């Protein structure tokens, strides 16, 4: 649990003057380091070669997550979401001790579908289905806020008929729960892009966390495989709630990538 909170704190570092180069560096560095930590927690590091493999896959995934956010920020949300899912696959395969491309996964709602490729040496199943406990809770929270829920850009979005209010009483045109972005119907395109960046951030946090529970084992064509607690995402959410808006790393990153400015104070 300490490692998970440490990652949340690392990703939440307030970098007021962060430019895109620093954002890219943090994405690559943090994803690489915590991919290695996840490998170690799952006992997949037995040699220097294993360590290099974990760090290397995390580095590539970190580049992928940064590029996914850039794509989303400029409005190519569907492509960005696909790139983010591919990056997640690299991390979860590597930390499980498998070939980085052994399975290709896609997250929709609280579920993640992972399909075996020819590089999956074990090939215990053709399809694995995972469930995220925290994303299930976030979906329920999003639905509670929503006036409408729809599929857009390859993910679930929710919309509200009226703008919301933040904890300081300021009007907000968008709000994201986990991987579920939400916007006011009258919001501009920057708000759509901004909230989609938050969805990629949430998926990135989920990617480095080891499974909490294995449901089905053994060989079968389709398995309900893992329950992922999402404690890292939950811890990040709690830390952010105690941090001033303009100092939240998630907001600093989203504003810089979508509008090239700092969050409002």
Does some domain include residue 226?
yes
Does some domain include residue 85?
yes
Q: What was the pLDDT predicted at 240?
A: 86
Q: What was the pLDDT predicted at 5?
A: 44
Work out the percent of the chain whose per-residue pLDDT is above 70.
92
Kindly report whether the global pTM for this prediction surpasses the value 0.95.
no
Q: What was the pLDDT predicted at 17?
A: 55
Does some domain include residue 265?
no
Report which of residues 12 and 193 the model is more confident about. Answer: 193
Give the residue numbers spanning the domain of 75.
2-259
- The stretch 166-180 carries a mean pLDDT of 84
Of 237, 236, 230, 232, the C-alpha closest to 133 is 230
**What are the residues whose beta carbons fall under 8 Å from the beta carbon of 114, sequence distance 6 or more?**
89, 92, 103, 104, 105, 127, 128, 129, 130, 225
Q: What was the pLDDT predicted at 200?
A: 98
Does some domain include residue 264?
no
Of 77, 18, 2, the C-alpha closest to 248 is 18
Q: How many domains does the chain have?
A: 1
HSE-up (13 A, CA, CB side) for residue 99: 12
pLDDT (tens digit per residue) in 210-245? 999 999 888 999 999 999 999 999 998 888 888 888
């Amino acid at each position: 649990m300490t490692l998970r909170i440490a990652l949340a704190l690392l990703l939440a570092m307030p970098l007021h003057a962060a430019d895109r180069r620093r954002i890219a560096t943090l994405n690559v560095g943090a994803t690489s380091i915590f991919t290695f930590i996840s490998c170690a927690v799952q006992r997949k590091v037995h040699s220097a070669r294993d360590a290099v493999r974990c760090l290397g896959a995390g580095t590539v995934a970190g580049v992928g997550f940064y590029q996914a956010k850039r794509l989303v920020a400029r409005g190519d949300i569907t492509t960005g979401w696909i790139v983010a899912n591919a990056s997640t696959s690299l991390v979860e395969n590597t930390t499980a001790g498998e070939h980085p491309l052994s399975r290709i996964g896609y997250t929709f709602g609280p579920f993640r579908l992972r399909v075996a490729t020819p590089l999956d040496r074990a090939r215990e199943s053709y399809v694995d289905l995972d469930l995220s406990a925290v994303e299930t809770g976030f979906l329920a929270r999003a639905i509670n806020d929503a006036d409408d829920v729809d599929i857009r850009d390859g993910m679930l979005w929710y919309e509200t008929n009226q703008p919301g209010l933040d904890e300081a009483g300021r009007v907000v045109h968008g709000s994201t729960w986990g991987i579920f972005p939400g916007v006011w119907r009258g919001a501009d395109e920057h708000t759509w892009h901004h909230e989609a960046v938050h969805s990629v951030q949430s998926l990135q946090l989920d990617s480095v966390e080891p499974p909490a529970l294995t449901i089905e084992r053994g060989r079968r064509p389709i398995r309900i495989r893992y329950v992922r607690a999402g404690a890292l995402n939950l811890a990040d959410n709690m830390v952010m709630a105690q941090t001033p808006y303009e100092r939240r790393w998630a907001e600093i990153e989203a504003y810089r990538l979508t509008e090239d400015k700092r969050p409002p104070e």
